[in-house]
Amino acid sequence: MVWPLIRRGLLIGALAGLLAGCFAFVFGEPLVQDAIDIEEAASAQASLVHVVPAHVSDWAVSRDEQRGGLFLGTLLYGLCIGTVFAMAFALLRGRGAERDDWQLSTRLAAALFVVFVLIPFVKYPANPPAVGSPDTIGDRTWAYLALLGGSLAALLAAARVAWSVAADAPAWRAPLLGGGTFVALVAFLMLVLPGVDEVPEGFPASLLWEFRLSSLGTQAVLWTALGVGYGIASLRGAPGRAAATA
């Protein structure tokens, strides 16, 4: 049945999201505050040159509310990712090479981390406040989504190529053809999609680098916790599943 797997994905995804939120709060939140301070200092300096009256909103979110929203955001993100992960796990279970639930869970988490996080990060890394022009946010979003969808399509194409290799072929042929297909398609996407470089002059390079590392680390914590936690939960549920089947 699929529902127990999805329910397990919701639970493990929520826990993984909270762990990722804790990591982001400890390592990423101070960097966000530093970037906000730089942005406010630049705005204050610009206001001395010319003043343009603008009414944006009467409602402002305090920094404490933003910090609380960080955990809410990672929790919801973990629930969504956990559901997608559980559905992919259910689809791949029992297909392809013989593997147990632990191997399937950890390998699936690693593959999806590469597709959903690592490849987009290489082309379009995360930026802190004060980096990026508001006028190009639409173009940057569409380019990011195009790379995300293309990476997923490349993974599916590589899996199809690997699974199409004859069973009596040498053991190295399937992973080599599948990996080569994936790398070639991703490289094509990297070359075709436009690059983005909107870091303002004078922005501290160390702050930018540390923020991007903390963003990547937050995703790594989430996907590691999801793969490991789901694998452990699947192994613990294996005796009950075997008894029910019998």
Residue 68 has a pLDDT of 82
Of 9-18, 94-103, 133-142, 215-224, the range with the lowest mean pLDDT is: 94-103
pLDDT in tens, 137-170: 888 899 999 999 999 999 999 999 988 888 788 8
> Which residues fall within 8 angstroms of residue 13, CB to CB, at 6 or more apart?
78, 79, 80, 81, 82, 83, 85, 86, 226
What torsion do the CA atoms of 229, 113, 91, 21 make, to the nearest 10 degrees? 40
pLDDT in tens, 31-85: 888 888 887 776 665 554 444 444 444 456 677 777 788 999 999 999 999 999 9
Residue whose C-alpha is closest to residue 120's, from 216, 52, 16: 216
Q: Extract the tokens encoding 22.
A: 């804790």
Q: Phi first, then psi: what are they for 37, rounded to 5°?
A: -60, -40
Mean pLDDT, all residues of the chain: 85
Percentage of the chain lying above the pLDDT 90 cut: 54
Contact status, residue 111 vs residue 18, Cβ threshold 8 Å: no
- The residue behind tokens 């490289």 is 187
Q: Which residues of 120-157 are buried (b: 16+ CB within 10 A; e: fewer)?
A: beebbebbbbbbeeeeeeeebeebeeebbebbeebbee
> Which residues fall within 8 angstroms of residue 59, CB to CB, at 6 or more apart?
none
Alpha helix segments (H runs only) across the chain: 2-23, 29-49, 63-92, 101-113, 119-123, 137-163, 173-192, 205-245
In this prediction, residue 121 has a pLDDT band, given cuts at 50, 70 and 90, of: very high
Residue 51 has a pLDDT of 42
Percentage of the chain lying above the pLDDT 70 cut: 85
Sequence spans of domains, the chain: 1-41+63-130+214-241, 132-198
The Cα–Cα gap between 227 and 218 comes to: 14
- The residue behind tokens 């946010």 is 137
The Cα–Cα gap between 138 and 155 comes to: 26
- The residue behind tokens 């993984």 is 16
Residue whose C-alpha is closest to residue 116's, from 23, 230, 216: 216
> Which residues fall within 8 angstroms of residue 203, CB to CB, at 6 or more apart?
38, 130, 131
